[in-house]
Chains A and B, each alone.
Chain A
């Protein structure tokens, strides 16, 4: 990949981000500006900002890569990410805004009048926020490495510095402008190349093999295997090998590999003839964004698809950086309209990744073997169009990808810093908010340098599963159920969110390698969400004396239209 255009494009995105943030800084004056942009962000701007921060690296690069490697089942990811907003709209958008709280812990305390529940919610916000920040930083490193060959941690470092600078300087007001700008940038960066790619595909005779299973090589292609991997074959495969396969060294030898699992050493060159089906690499062989721990089709039963759907449907409402944005709406009605606009914006965006995924299956099928499937979006313009045009389009995509890392990371940093400032640091002034920002970013940055290759799709999936099993019960029951008690809420969050966390952590550590138990643990939402709800309900029913005294008034406040509230005050 030619980096002579990509590097200026990434640099431009970074500079414009800082400039737009500085523009926001000029009108960001008060504490309220800092945390919730003085609650004056109209539906259109707010919707663009929410969409801007929501469409992360996982959406921009990851979905196309996942579809490329694992087929159309993975299209449930974007569908779930979008439908999550519908669930959010139906159950929480307007009441959440009307609650008048600044953050999720604020909401918990306002609803349940309990400091302990507030702290617990704060801990979950920080935990989920950090979990979600980690893949953003890693993704940035990966992208910069693919583009320029720079060291792995450099991209993450750049994102961390820019984000801390804009968030600490301008707070929510700045971030709103930055993220709204970045939504349109991301849409352009995927839409324009997609149009050219579709034209190139048409002039290529519009081959339709992309939709066939499995994908096949359209022409003879040599693939260099960068990481040692296990190849699982369903049928006999004829391939020309230079390097080591199953422990035997070969030099440009034509091999007939029988069905079964074959061990390919790193550095091996495989040459596939035209029309050969693309073999599937076994799971866990590399740390790319599209490599899920619950990978291949055979190992991903129908159950896993449902687990994924439930986690994304219900997890969206609890993501700390999404929720905090609803507090910036001027009133509940605006919060609802904002959500509809968000649905439209992200729905429009998600029409594009499947295009890249399908074209990737046609033109870059070898990426499934090299472990760079996430790079499909970055590499396709060069592969299909080539020349200066391909380079320029590739640079546009690279800039968009960086915008994705920056916007999601700044939203998360904002949310985590808000909680740290309010609940951990001694005072709530703007200066401490800035300190909180640095803290919020320092921990995941250190983790990404120290821990390294955590598969991005899994970290994102974990964040969604934990959020769906802890915050979703808290929000839904808190808003709609009068008999919720502080012990019930705390127990539900701990049991639901905690078990989801433990399950995915166990999967990541490699505990039960295969089988039904593996699927249960890798996709915990299907049992952990009901568990969270059930615990919350049962413990609440068992402690009826602990129902907060002001519950009726608080619920009235959540649901009453604003006009009436003004009247009550008067």
Chain B
């Protein structure tokens, strides 16, 4: 690990990154695109459900108990499960990708 401040700056902003561009990886683009759609799909489904909730609460006149129950206690476990699922998919994605590149 570099400890001298000037050396550290090189790691952060430094030219090595820019020179490495020449190595010409076209594959990462696929990976990036893949991850974008993957992430978008998850988020879209999550947001669609989440964003409907206030409407449901507003539309149901006697929804206070429901609101307490759902907002207070029922949303956190699904959030964690969704995150776990995403991480597993993302890591598998990356492993596959590494294998693909190394086999080349």
Name the prevailing secondary structure of the B interface residues.
helix
Residue of B nearest to A74 (CB): B71
Given contacts A106-B12, A480-B36, contact A82 B76 (CB under 8 A): yes
Are B54 and A302 closer than 8 Å at their CB atoms? yes
Q: Does A273 contact B (CB under 8 A)?
A: no
Residue of A nearest to B39 (CB): A90
Are A344 and B80 closer than 8 Å at their CB atoms? yes
Given contacts A30-B1, A32-B1, contact A109 B13 (CB under 8 A): yes
Q: A389 CA to B2 CA in the complex, in Å?
A: 53
Q: Does A284 contact B (CB under 8 A)?
A: no
9-residue interface stretch from A50-58, A94-102, A134-142, A408-416: A94-102
**B30, chain A: closest CB distance, angstroms:** 10
Q: Does A269 contact B (CB under 8 A)?
A: no
Q: Does A554 contact B (CB under 8 A)?
A: yes
Which of A91, A354, A550 makes the CB contact (< 8 A) with B72?
A354
Per-residue A-contact encoding for B49-64, CB less than 8 Å = 1, 0 else: 0110011011000001
Say which size band chain A's interface belongs to: 35 or more
Q: Does A1 contact B (CB under 8 A)?
A: no
Are A333 and B91 closer than 8 Å at their CB atoms? yes
Q: A101 CA to B55 CA in the complex, in Å?
A: 41
**A71, chain B: closest CB distance, angstroms:** 7
Per-residue A-contact encoding for B2-25, CB less than 8 Å = 1, 0 else: 111100110111000110110101
**A118, chain B: closest CB distance, angstroms:** 9
Which of A110, A351, A358 makes the CB contact (< 8 A) with B12?
A110
Say which size band chain B's interface belongs to: 35 or more
Which of A39, A358, A480 makes the CB contact (< 8 A) with B32?
A480
Taking CB atoms, residues of chain B closer than 8 Å to A552 are 21, 29
Which of A75, A76, A306, A343 makes the CB contact (< 8 A) with B83?
A343
Given contacts A79-B75, A90-B86, A340-B87, contact A557 B54 (CB under 8 A): no
Which of B8, B42, B72, B98 makes the CB contact (< 8 A) with A564?
B98
**A288, chain B: closest CB distance, angstroms:** 22
Residue of B nearest to A561 (CB): B94
Taking CB atoms, residues of chain B closer than 8 Å to A89 are 83, 86-87
Are B67 and A75 closer than 8 Å at their CB atoms? yes
Are A86 and B83 closer than 8 Å at their CB atoms? yes
Are A38 and B79 closer than 8 Å at their CB atoms? no
Q: Does A387 contact B (CB under 8 A)?
A: no
**B98, chain A: closest CB distance, angstroms:** 5
Q: Does A388 contact B (CB under 8 A)?
A: no
Are A354 and B73 closer than 8 Å at their CB atoms? yes
Given contacts A39-B1, A109-B13, contact A358 B71 (CB under 8 A): no
Are B17 and A557 closer than 8 Å at their CB atoms? yes
Are A76 and B17 closer than 8 Å at their CB atoms? no
Which of B1, B17, B98 makes the CB contact (< 8 A) with A553?
B17
Which of A82, A354, A428 makes the CB contact (< 8 A) with B5?
A428
**B42, chain A: closest CB distance, angstroms:** 6
Are B12 and A83 closer than 8 Å at their CB atoms? no
Which of B39, B71, B79 makes the CB contact (< 8 A) with A76?
B71
Given contacts A212-B64, A302-B55, A564-B101, contact A32 B76 (CB under 8 A): no
Q: Does A559 contact B (CB under 8 A)?
A: yes
Q: Mark out the residues of chain A between 107 and 164 whose CB falls within 8 Å of any chain B CB in the assembled complex.
A: 109-110
Q: A359 CA to B84 CA in the complex, in Å?
A: 33
Taking CB atoms, residues of chain B closer than 8 Å to A553 are 17-18, 20-21
Given contacts A343-B79, A560-B28, A563-B98, contact A76 B86 (CB under 8 A): no
Are B50 and A550 closer than 8 Å at their CB atoms? no
Are A556 and B28 closer than 8 Å at their CB atoms? yes
Residue of A nearest to B71 (CB): A75
Q: A569 CA to B3 CA in the complex, in Å?
A: 20
Q: Does A249 contact B (CB under 8 A)?
A: no
Taking CB atoms, residues of chain B closer than 8 Å to A18 are none
Given contacts A83-B50, A212-B64, contact A31 B3 (CB under 8 A): yes
Which of B4, B17, B35, B79 makes the CB contact (< 8 A) with A559?
B35
Most chain A CB within 10 A, of B35, B84, B102, is at: B35
Given contacts A83-B79, A559-B31, contact A72 B87 (CB under 8 A): no
Q: A497 CA to B77 CA in the complex, in Å?
A: 32
Taking CB atoms, residues of chain B closer than 8 Å to A83 are 46, 50, 75, 79
Residue of A nearest to B35 (CB): A559
Residue of A nearest to B82 (CB): A86
**A127, chain B: closest CB distance, angstroms:** 23
Q: Does A348 contact B (CB under 8 A)?
A: yes
Which of A82, A336, A556, A568 makes the CB contact (< 8 A) with B79?
A82
Taking CB atoms, residues of chain A closer than 8 Å to B80 are 340, 343-344, 347
Are B76 and A336 closer than 8 Å at their CB atoms? no
Given contacts A309-B54, A549-B18, A561-B94, contact A100 B32 (CB under 8 A): no
Are A340 and B83 closer than 8 Å at their CB atoms? yes
Residue of A nearest to B22 (CB): A553
Q: Does A470 contact B (CB under 8 A)?
A: no
Are B11 and A340 closer than 8 Å at their CB atoms? no
Q: Does A337 contact B (CB under 8 A)?
A: yes
**A109, chain B: closest CB distance, angstroms:** 6
- List 12 A-B pairs, Cβ < 8 Å: A75-B72, A83-B46, A86-B46, A90-B42, A90-B43, A211-B65, A212-B64, A339-B83, A340-B84, A343-B80, A344-B80, A351-B76
**9 shortest A-B CB distances, which residue pairs?**
A347-B76, A553-B21, A75-B71, A354-B72, A556-B28, A550-B18, A561-B94, A72-B67, A90-B39
Query: With contacts A351-B72, A563-B98 known, what are 18 further pairs, Cβ within 8 A?
Result: A73-B57, A75-B71, A76-B71, A85-B83, A91-B39, A302-B58, A309-B51, A333-B94, A343-B83, A347-B79, A348-B76, A350-B76, A351-B73, A354-B68, A550-B21, A556-B29, A560-B28, A561-B95
